[in-house]
Chain A
Amino acid sequence: MNFQLDEKRLALQAAVREFAQNELAPGVIERDEASEYPLELYKKLGSMGYVGLPYEEKYGGSGGDYLDYALAVEEISKVDASMGISYSVAMSLYGGSIINAATEEQKLEFLPDVFSGKSLGAFGLTEPNAGSDAGGCVTTAEKKGDKYVLNGLKCFNTNGPLADHFAVYALTQPELGAKGLSLFHVKKGTPGFSIGKIENKMGIRAAQVSELIFENCEIPESALIGEEGKGFKYAMKALDGGRIGVAAQGLGIAEGAFEIARKYLMTREQFGKPIYRNQHLAFKMAELECEIEMAKYMVYKAALDKSEGRPYTIPAAKAKLVCTNAAMHVTTEAVQMLGGNGFMREYHVERMMRDAKITQIYEGTNEIQKLVISGALFK
């Protein structure tokens, strides 16, 4: 067992950190306030090979692995959690859906633009009445000749308004419920496909989240990914990968807030001394440091399990649960430790606290993670 990242991974981690600090940090508060996504910065990240990290070069990736990718999501999310989730959705949920089930020809057609960061991918599974119960979808894909006709509405789609490529789950046999769910690739601009309401959110405000509306949207039968009726399985597998991305995002948010608090405690003086010399605060930081380190080991392990071909459903659920709870806890404590300043936007931690909340909800709520973990305990 080796807890040390090798030199190459450290170099990659340092490189993403440098980019995030130099390029993403300026303007992060303004982007949050204006709900503006920095698409050009995302494309710049892609041009340097950091977007398609976990995928093969022939599909536009960089030939790294899932731990490289988790390290990148972590570093980006230390500074800008909105970019962190946008990146994670494009790679884990869109990319994961296609790479797990598509034919070689489909992979070569649908992946390179997204993995090279030239465009974004999105994932359409959730519906107004199918959240945690993802099998309760009602969006349909009716086969008509050599086409499928999509009808329905997907909600809470990260990257929806910006993406060019969509992995959409719809029922080909509605009477079978989850067993009738199939996966399709839909291109932006397909007639009958439109972007609905763009959400006004509490956190990750720079990320663009919207409805996807399908009204007699015809797609060729070649847009079916994998087999009819296997969509639910494909979605769950993509979500397993997505949980590693969100875990890394939560870890990054926690670390970002922790470092701001650490520096603040060393420079802020009250009663004639830096406030870290109050043992209550120093001990609080010691506890948070341990919480972050535990979270880190769990997400790195889950990422390595996936990269090295071991089962990762349970490790991913554990990492997601622990890392996102750490994000919520650390950011809340950071706001408290910064006092009145912590409540103000220019100190960043209030934004991080708002961003942290959603990490406990999406990619399966943390209650769903407990269902997954406990389900394996009591088989």
Chain B
Amino acid sequence: MEPHSSIYQSTMEIIVIAKQVKMADSVKCDFAGVEAAIRLKRKTDARIKVVVMGEEKDAIAQVRDSISMGADSGTVLLLENAEIDSWICAKAFSDYLKNENFDLLLSGSFPIDADTIQTGLLAGNMLGLASASHIEDIDTGEASGLLKAKKRMEDRVQILDVKMPCMFAALPHPEAPIYKTVPGINRAYSVDIPVIKLDLNDQKGKIKVMDSFKIGERKRGKCLTAISTEGAAKEIINTIAANHIL
């Protein structure tokens, strides 16, 4: 999809999308996407733009928080009193993004659309991007134009080589929070944050969520001690076979 790709020579262009979800007495903000982007930016030269959909005050606050953590710029897609489903949400994001240049599109995995993990993947699909969810880690690939992503499964990880531009839904890393910095806060409160009003009145929802399930907690592995090398190898082969990996 050339129209969406920057000419990634030295600076990777990353766009992070996040949809705020209203809870009983608060707004649930999703920072997993921007945290994944910042982790990648620490490994390679990259520029991060966050696009947050929500009501003005809370969405601007989320953009500012993201910039304080390390994003470079942000935009608000203003959602006023509209009850929308994941499809409408993804359509709104993709309509905005089709005019943007980027190499990587990121979203969070859970809070973005009340734990159904659909919005980011749907938007990626609408833009014709290779997409993957439950991404734990992203690295630059061995060949130019590729990203290497670690996708978490129930009982294993998959290492994916994905051609850019692409879309990943990133998992949060609560064990390694990314803090706001003073230069980040200074930038967040000095940049302009454009607010684009969305007109979604004639949009009809297409998705009915019947149920959703979070990925299960990873089981603790088995540590083989006091065992011969041959015995350990046999045990590993048996475990792999029992899990249908072989």
Question: When the two chains form their complex, are residues B183 and A11 in contact, meaning their CB atoms are under 8 A apart?
Answer: no
* Interface-facing stretch out of A29-37, A47-55, A144-152: A47-55
Least CB distance from B94 to A in Å reads 31
Q: Do A22 and B177 contact each other (CB < 8 Å), given the known contacts A8-B189, A11-B68, A11-B189?
A: yes
Question: When the two chains form their complex, are residues A15 and B179 in contact, meaning their CB atoms are under 8 A apart?
Answer: yes
| A313 touches B (CB below 8 Å) | no
Chain A residues closer than 8 Å to B65, beta-carbon distance: 11
Least CB distance from A19 to B in Å reads 5
CA distance A18 to B183 in the complex (A): 17
Contact with B along A1-33 (1 / 0, CB 8 A): 000000110011001001100100000000000
Measured CB to CB, the nearest residue on chain A to B189 is A8
Least CB distance from B57 to A in Å reads 11
Question: When the two chains form their complex, are residues A15 and B185 in contact, meaning their CB atoms are under 8 A apart?
Answer: yes
**CB-contacts of B151-194 with A (<8 A):** 177, 179-183, 185-186, 188-189
Q: Which of B64, B183, B188, B189 contacts A49 (CB 8 A)?
A: B183
Chain A residues closer than 8 Å to B180, beta-carbon distance: 11, 15, 18, 48
Question: When the two chains form their complex, are residues A15 and B68 in contact, meaning their CB atoms are under 8 A apart?
Answer: yes
Chain B residues closer than 8 Å to A22, beta-carbon distance: 177
Least CB distance from A48 to B in Å reads 4
Least CB distance from A196 to B in Å reads 36
CA distance A11 to B189 in the complex (A): 10
CA distance A274 to B28 in the complex (A): 31
Measured CB to CB, the nearest residue on chain B to A47 is B181
Question: When the two chains form their complex, are residues B189 and A48 in contact, meaning their CB atoms are under 8 A apart?
Answer: no
Chain A residues closer than 8 Å to B182, beta-carbon distance: 12, 48-50, 53, 62, 64
Interface size on A, residues (CB 8 A): 15
CA distance A7 to B57 in the complex (A): 12
Measured CB to CB, the nearest residue on chain B to A23 is B179
Chain B residues closer than 8 Å to A11, beta-carbon distance: 64-65, 68, 180, 185, 188-189
Least CB distance from A266 to B in Å reads 18
| A63 touches B (CB below 8 Å) | yes
Chain A residues closer than 8 Å to B185, beta-carbon distance: 8, 11-12, 15
Q: Which of B179, B186, B188 contacts A48 (CB 8 A)?
A: B179
Q: Which of A19, A62, A63, A64 contacts B179 (CB 8 A)?
A: A19
Interface centre among A11, A12, A48, A62 (most CB of B within 10 A): A11
Chain A residues closer than 8 Å to B186, beta-carbon distance: 8, 62-63
Least CB distance from A276 to B in Å reads 22
CA distance A62 to B183 in the complex (A): 7
Chain B residues closer than 8 Å to A18, beta-carbon distance: 177, 179-180
Chain B residues closer than 8 Å to A64, beta-carbon distance: 182
CA distance A7 to B185 in the complex (A): 10
Measured CB to CB, the nearest residue on chain A to B177 is A22
CA distance A62 to B186 in the complex (A): 9
CA distance A7 to B188 in the complex (A): 11
Measured CB to CB, the nearest residue on chain B to A18 is B179
Least CB distance from A123 to B in Å reads 24
Chain A residues closer than 8 Å to B64, beta-carbon distance: 7, 11
Chain B residues closer than 8 Å to A49, beta-carbon distance: 181-183
Measured CB to CB, the nearest residue on chain B to A61 is B182
CA distance A50 to B189 in the complex (A): 16
CA distance A19 to B179 in the complex (A): 7
Question: When the two chains form their complex, are residues B179 and A7 in contact, meaning their CB atoms are under 8 A apart?
Answer: no
Measured CB to CB, the nearest residue on chain A to B64 is A11
Chain B residues closer than 8 Å to A15, beta-carbon distance: 68, 179-181, 185
Measured CB to CB, the nearest residue on chain A to B182 is A49
Residues of chain B whose beta carbon lies under 8 Å from any beta carbon of chain A: 64-65, 68, 177, 179-183, 185-186, 188-189
Extra contacts, 15 of them, besides A11-B180, A48-B180, A62-B186 (Cβ < 8 A), are A8-B189, A11-B65, A11-B68, A11-B185, A12-B182, A15-B68, A15-B181, A15-B185, A18-B177, A19-B179, A48-B182, A49-B182, A50-B182, A53-B182, A62-B182
26 example contacts (A-B, Cβ-Cβ < 8 A) are as follows A7-B64, A7-B189, A8-B185, A8-B186, A8-B189, A11-B64, A11-B65, A11-B68, A11-B180, A11-B185, A11-B188, A12-B185, A15-B180, A15-B181, A18-B177, A18-B179, A19-B179, A48-B180, A48-B181, A48-B182, A49-B181, A49-B183, A50-B182, A62-B182, A62-B183, A63-B186
**What 4 A-B pairs have minimum CB-CB distances, sorted nearest first?**
A49-B182, A15-B180, A62-B182, A48-B181
